[in-house]
Amino acid sequence: MIGADEIRARFARAMSEMYRQEVPQYGALTELVARVNARVLRDDPALKARLETTGALARLDVERHGAIRLGTAAELATMRRLFAVMGMAPVGYYDLSVAGIPVHSTAFRPVDEAALGRNPFRVFTSLLRLDLIADVALRAEAERILAARRIFTPGVLALIGQWEAEGGLGDAEADRFVREALETFRWHREATVSAATYRRLHDAHRLIADVVCFKGPHINHLTPRTLDIDAAQAEMPLYGMQAKDVIEGPPRRACPILLRQTSFAALEEPILFLGAGDAGEDGCHTARFGEIEQRGMALTPKGRALYDRLLRVARDDGPEDVPYGARLERAFAQFPDTEDELRGQELAYFRYDLTDGASLPPGLSAEAPIWDLVRLGVVVATPITYEDFLPVSAAGIFRSNLGGLGGADYAASADRAGFEAALEAEVLDECVLYAALQERFIADVRQRLRDAAA
Ligand code: OOG
Ligand code: NI
């Protein structure tokens, strides 16, 4: 039997190869990121050592996230079963309607430390919310078109069923699963609708046309992880790519937090509409783009609340004549930027490891406050990496890759229960996962100190 981690690693590699064929700029982007990362690691041996301890270095070269947009509840539920074969579970609920985008989303990703270390492949997965479309006739038409499509191959459905029944796949079956699953994410040049239908859906919202008019949920980007997003952003023009003006997320800091992201605009790709005759009608569609990300530390709910507040300050309260980047810097001056403060004020999650060769000083027990164990050098604290996404940033990415979007104004309404009903499962709470991981690290170092003292 081939384990889920191995199937995910094979799938991520196959997806990367497919996307490189489909979108050559993706290849250029991964080269750029590899060059920047190599330079950062050469210039910062301390960072390199730390990435080695946490396992981040080993996974860096293959680390990618992608995104897809689904049309129906049934598609989402089956996608959950497909990702389960690869050890990926839905984590987090993201409501994008507040930003004028008619979707809600989750991220499928591995959850435990070992699996993340093996291959952290994640897919930001959105479900179209036709309930937010006011035009009843148009909504019915979109529903009818979506109901008629089949985005999964019969072969992959059979293999998912087999995996569920038997708890695994053999080597050849795993390869077949990867091949068949990949079909769902492939780009299809042929639209399933006429040019007129496409235009009607497009006019209601560009995103609706992207989800409804094609045979499947083409992967719309695949994002490598960079260790210096500012450098990578600055070099994008050298590779013929125009990055969006603003990096999403927090500003550059001594202690990186959460996630910073930037993207280049979507390509205009030729498509073929259903025609009156055999010929079809030529058109073009923009949906697929490139993105890079830099990951920082996971924040506790308290840290996240501070982040959300300062981001609002930068966006809404900054003086109009000051550029956004400067307003962001100014607002985030209030966010502590040393690891001791971030840990002391419980703003971020940390992992704990025994210092090489350290033992308990006389008079100190293994049950001493973790803070003391760190202060006395018995234990080292290292930030836990944020493995998830940010709704405000995601909205910015959607907006840039859909060509500005503009104006849709939905009565803001998160519908987590509706999303979970479609998913036929609950989404995991990312903070619960980080807190449990931190607790496990603390319990482990205490156990090892007790063992060493015994
Ligand atoms: C997803 C956009 C969100 C991210 O990294 O936040 C995203 C999409 O455009 O479908 O990819
Ligand atoms: Ni993305």
Tell me the whole-structure pTM to 2 decimals: 0.96
Stretch 375-402: mean pLDDT, rounded? 91
Pairing of strands 122-128, 64-70: parallel
Q: How many Å lie between the centroid of ligand 2 and the Cα of residue 279?
A: 36
Measure CA of the first residue to CA of the last residue in the chain; give whole Å: 40
Q: 240 pLDDT exceeds 60?
A: yes
Residue nearest (by alpha carbon) to ligand 1 atom 11: 67
Task: Please give the structure tokens belonging to residue 278.
Answer: 């055999």
Ligand lying nearest the CA atom of residue 217: 1
Residue nearest (by alpha carbon) to ligand 1 atom 4: 394
Q: How many Å lie between the centroid of ligand 1 and the Cα of residue 219?
A: 11
Tens of pLDDT, residue by residue over 135-191, are 999 999 999 999 999 999 999 999 999 999 999 999 999 999 999 999 999 999 999
Nearest atom, ligand 1, residue 394 CA: 6
Of the listed ranges 85-94, 196-205, 221-230, 273-282, the one predicted with least confidence:
273-282
Non-local CB neighbours of 140 within 8 Å, separated by 6+ positions: none
Predicted confidence at residue 338, as pLDDT, reads: 98
Nearest atom, ligand 1, residue 221 CA: 11
Distances (CA, A) of 29 to 240, 242, 289, 374: 10, 11, 11, 40
Q: How many Å lie between the centroid of ligand 2 and the Cα of residue 289?
A: 9
Residue nearest (by alpha carbon) to ligand 1 atom 3: 394
ipTM tops 0.95: yes
**403 pLDDT tier (thresholds 50, 70, 90):** low
Q: 299 pLDDT exceeds 70?
A: yes
Q: How many Å lie between the centroid of ligand 1 and the Cα of residue 397?
A: 6
- Ligand 1 site residues (CB inside 6 A) read 67, 69, 124, 126, 220, 261, 389, 393-394, 397-398, 401
The number of residues making up the chain comes to 454
Q: How many Å lie between the centroid of ligand 2 and the Cα of residue 425?
A: 23
Q: 412 pLDDT exceeds 80?
A: no
Go through the domains of the chain in sequence order and give each one's CATH number. Answer: 4-290+388-423 (3.10.180.80)
Question: Do residues 158 and 166 make contact, with C-beta atoms less than 8 angstroms apart?
Answer: no
Of the listed ranges 54-58, 308-312, 367-371, 401-405, the one predicted with least confidence:
401-405
Question: Do residues 91 and 433 make contact, with C-beta atoms less than 8 angstroms apart?
Answer: yes
Tens of pLDDT, residue by residue over 431-453, are 999 999 999 999 999 999 999 88
Burial of 209 (0-12, 13-18, 19+ CB in 10 A): buried
Stretch 426-434: mean pLDDT, rounded? 98
Q: How many Å lie between the centroid of ligand 1 and the Cα of residue 67?
A: 6
Nearest atom, ligand 1, residue 248 CA: 6
What stretches of 251-294 show up as alpha helix (H) in DSSP? none
Q: Calculate the CA dihedral of residues 228, 229, 230, 232 and round it to 10 degrees.
A: 90
Residue nearest (by alpha carbon) to ligand 1 atom 6: 394
Q: How many Å lie between the centroid of ligand 2 and the Cα of residue 274?
A: 31
Nearest atom, ligand 1, residue 103 CA: 10
Non-local CB neighbours of 73 within 8 Å, separated by 6+ positions: 127, 421, 422, 423
Three-state DSSP state, 253: coil
- What would you report as the CA-atom Rg of the chain, rounded to the nearest whole angstrom? 23
Tens of pLDDT, residue by residue over 351-372, are 999 998 888 888 899 999 999 9
- φ, ψ for residue 77 (rounded to 5)? -65, -40
